[in-house]
Structure 1
Amino acid sequence: MKQKTIIEGLIFLAGEEGLTFEQICSALDHPVNDAVVEDLETLKKQYDDPDSGIELTEFSNRYKFITKEAIYPYGQRIFEHAKPASLSQAALETLAIVAYKQPITRVEIEEIRGVNCEVMLKKLQAQGLIEAKDRLDTVGKPLLYTVTDEFLDAFELNTLAELPELPQHDGEEDLFGNEEEE
């Protein structure tokens, strides 16, 4: 079986999770090499064909198959009665704080938001958008929260550097309570 065919099948099997370049090379029992890169580029071109309903894409360093945008109206007919997953205003606020200030503790998030956010953090973790990746080396060893690859994928970002800049207001605190530098 051709290596390109195996790569195609592996990415399909991975589904929404997708695969990293390193995972693909590991599954093939190959060191990282140009042949795998060439096969991925060939697959991208193959699925870029207008007669294909899917495409191979790379988000957050993960390769995955996605449906082409032109398919959306047809898919919408199928799923129009399904309730889309959405985030509440509180969830979006908490998620934004974690994304912009990570790694950050629950107490720091609560100081910025002004409300208890323990339940919201658990909900965002359950949705796979944030994770408690480490502990702060201080009294009580509080958890440090960061966003996940699923967050990057959900917001179609490759890195956090692609997040929009926060609005600046002269002589005021920014959205997260930081004093403005002059």
Structure 2
Amino acid sequence: MLTPLEQTIEALLFAADNALKITDLHQLLEDTSAEAIRAAIQSLNRHYADHAFSIVEVGEGYRLMTKPAFSEWVAKLYTQVKNVRLSPAALETLAIIAYKQPISRAEIAHIRGVDSSGVIRKLLELNLIEIQGKSDDVGRPLLYGTTPKFLEHFGLRDLAELPSVDELEELLREEPTTGEKLRLGSLFVAPAGKDTTP
């Protein structure tokens, strides 16, 4: 039997379009402490043990998500589950930034072998990357890195959960069309493409 607090948190996470931070829930629930909210989330996940979904920490917040065991069936229901659809050029550029950050525009262009200004601008607009400072190199070029929305988009808690290059090579050999999370590292096992469409 869920407590009123647990029911409220469940409803908020169910209705939210994006991950909710503890601070977001604290503001909405007003008199409820952050510790009580975390305890309620843990209790809900225990309650969900035999359910097809759970509360998952992604980026800086929490989302109510289908468990990985059911991803195949959900994929059959929704052919396009991502709100943000990324072209191969955008995925390639995003992969470079994710693994090499902080990285400058010139370094990205050198790795891809093509100017990436348009793709970088699109990724900035989508809030998947951000400017994280300036390099000490001549001209002080801007440095780019990924955002919390990037983590949320790919279902990662933090950057440490990015697959290693070896893992990516193995996964891509076994199942090259698994989806964006695997395609994110495709440039490490194949030559960079020349498509500049963001």
Normalised TM-score (structure 1): 0.69
2:6 to 4, 7, 28: 4
- Measured in 2, the distance between the counterparts of 1:83 and 1:66 equals 12
RMSD value over aligned CA atoms?
3.1
Equivalent position amino acid for 2:60 in 1: N
Answer with 1 or 2: which has the greater Rg: 1
Change (3 A) 1:83 1:59: closer
Please list every run of 5 or more consecutive structure 2 residues that lacks an aligned counterpart in the other structure: 167-187, 189-198
Equivalent residue number for residue 14 of structure 1: 16
- Measured in 1, the distance between the counterparts of 2:57 and 2:116 equals 33
- Measured in 1, the distance between the counterparts of 2:76 and 2:95 equals 32
Change (3 A) 1:72 1:164: closer
Equivalent residue number for residue 112 of structure 1: 111
Equivalent residue number for residue 92 of structure 1: 91
| Larger helix share, 1 or 2 | 2
Deviation at 1:44, TM superposition (A): 1.4
1:163 and 2:162 correspond: yes
Map 1:17-166 onto structure 2 (within 5 A).
Answer: 17-30=18-31, 32-50=33-51, 53-69=52-68, 72=71, 75-80=74-79, 85-88=85-88, 90-136=89-135, 142-166=141-165
Deviation at 1:116, TM superposition (A): 0.5
Equivalent position amino acid for 2:146 in 1: V
- Write the deviation string for residues 128-164 of structure 1: whole angstroms up to 9, x where unpaired: 3222344457776543211122222233321112223
Q: Describe the SS at the equivalent of 1:48.
A: helix
CA contact (8 A) 1:22 1:32 kept: no
Change (3 A) 1:32 1:134: farther
CA contact (8 A) 2:101 2:146 kept: yes
- Measured in 2, the distance between the counterparts of 1:126 and 1:30 equals 36
Q: Describe the SS at the equivalent of 1:63.
A: strand
- Measured in 1, the distance between the counterparts of 2:140 and 2:30 equals 40
Normalised TM-score (structure 2): 0.65
Aligned length: 163
- Measured in 2, the distance between the counterparts of 1:37 and 1:29 equals 15
- Measured in 1, the distance between the counterparts of 2:44 and 2:81 equals 33
Bigger relative CO (Cα 8 Å, ≥ 6 apart): 2
Change (3 A) 1:70 1:2: same
